[in-house]
DNA sequence: TTGCTCCTCACGTCACGTGAGGTGGC
DNA sequence: TTGCTCCTCACGTCACGTGAGGTGGC
């Protein structure tokens, strides 16, 4: 067993390292995204759990839903094969379409807000 | 009483016209964003209610929270005055900052997704 | 009588936040 | 004994979606 595999973490350590709350880690466990072992009642996170958490948070940055992240994690369990890569690629491309729509949305909102601000500013400048 | 003031709407008409569900209109009422009168138990929406709904949906396009929308609607009840305009302007500017952060977020996610797709595509092209 | 629209609960969704109350080892 | 970190419920948040079961007028 290499050193790397022997390293374990508490829930506090991991949440501090990745900037999330312990509650979030427990929630990921409830959704079966993580399954740390126990020492008594306390959770013990292995090197592999830590790697999975990194992937989970990456998925969140990509704005995937936890359920989608769970499916992707499942795919990468035994060893990568082409069909698994293709499934992941499909999910990513779908998400890309969704994100581009979202960007358009936000851009529209910004445009609308800027002109709304203009209207009010103009009104404030007109004498009473 | 002008024609315009005499026009009323059912919940079904309004939700169809604005592309939202009846449930949403009832929810806005529960939050006191709308307060239609009643004919028996049925809701009757006046011209003014309709105008408020338009403002609500505009706020949603601007990605404001319903509670914030409620505050803005309150400001415009009796007649506009400078302080009210200034409060609205402040809210809008805050929201603009939030939206710009969100756009950056989405852009980052898109960039990350595109390169994640690249990695997988490259792997798929390499022979087994 | 059948359809349609409307009504009021009230639970479900999503990703946690936030106490409450308790345990265990330094 | 005091602090600290951990634990398990379990309710709250936000903006509705989704039945369930019932009413009223054409």
pLDDT, tens digit, for every residue of A29-50? Answer: 999 999 999 999 999 999 999 9
Q: Would you say the C-alpha torsion B70, B75, B78, B80 has a positive or negative sign?
A: negative
Which residues 94-113 on B are within 7 A of strand D at the CB atom? none
A116 CB within 8 Å of a chain B CB: yes
- What average pLDDT does the structure give for chain A? 89
pLDDT at B91: 87
CB-CB contact of B22 with B36 (8 Å): no
Higher-scoring residue by pLDDT: A82, A73: A73
Q: Is the pLDDT of residue A2 over 60?
A: no
Q: Is the pLDDT of residue B44 over 80?
A: yes
Q: How far B85 CA sits from the closest chain A CA (Å)?
A: 7
For residue B25, CA distances in Å to A33, B39, B41, B42, B56 come to 37, 17, 15, 13, 10
Which residues 29-68 on B are within 7 A of strand D at the CB atom? 40, 60, 65-67
* Nucleic acid strand C within 7 Å of A40 CB: yes
- Containing B39, the helix (H) or strand (E) segment is strand B37-39
Q: How far B84 CA sits from the closest chain A CA (Å)?
A: 10
Q: Where residue A17 falls among pLDDT bands split at 50, 70, 90?
A: very high
pLDDT at B56: 95
pLDDT at B101: 86
Above pLDDT 90, what percent of chain B?
A: 58
CB-CB contact of B124 with A107 (8 Å): no
Model confidence, pTM:
0.80
Chain A interface test: which of B116, B119, B125 (most A C-beta within 10 Å) = B116
Alpha-carbon distance of B36 to B42, in angstroms, equals: 9
Which residue approaches C7 most closely, CA to C1'?
B41
Q: Is the pLDDT of residue B79 over 80?
A: no
Q: Which chain A residues in 23-82 lie under 8 Å from chain B, judged by CB atoms? A: 58, 61-63, 80, 82
A119 CB within 8 Å of a chain B CB: no
Segment B75-86 shows an average pLDDT of 76
Q: Which residues of B touch A117 (CB under 8 A)?
A: 89, 92-93, 96
Q: pLDDT by residue (tens digit) across B11-32? A: 999 999 999 999 999 999 999 9
pLDDT at A78: 65
pLDDT at A99: 87
What is the chain B residue with the closest CA to A62? Answer: B109
Q: Is the pLDDT of residue A127 over 70?
A: yes
Above pLDDT 90, what percent of chain A?
A: 58
Above pLDDT 70, what percent of chain B?
A: 91
Q: Is the pLDDT of residue B57 over 90?
A: yes
* Nucleic acid strand C within 7 Å of B10 CB: yes
Segment A111-122 shows an average pLDDT of 92
pLDDT at A63: 82
């Amino acid at each position: 067993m290499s050193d790397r595999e022997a390293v374990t973490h508490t829930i506090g350590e991991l949440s501090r390292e990745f900037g999330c709350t312990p509650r979030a880690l427990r929630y990921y466990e409830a959704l079966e995204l993580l399954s740390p072992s126990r020492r008594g009642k306390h959770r013990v996170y292995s090197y592999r759990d830590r790697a999975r958490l990194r992937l989970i948070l990456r998925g969140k940055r990509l704005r995937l839903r936890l359920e989608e992240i769970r499916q992707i994690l499942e795919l990468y369990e035994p060893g990568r094969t082409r069909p698994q890569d293709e499934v992941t690629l499909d999910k990513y491309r779908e998400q890309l379409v969704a994100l581009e729509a979202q960007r358009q949305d936000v851009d529209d909102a910004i445009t609308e807000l800027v002109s709304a601000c203009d209207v009010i500013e103009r009104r404030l400048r007109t004498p009473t």
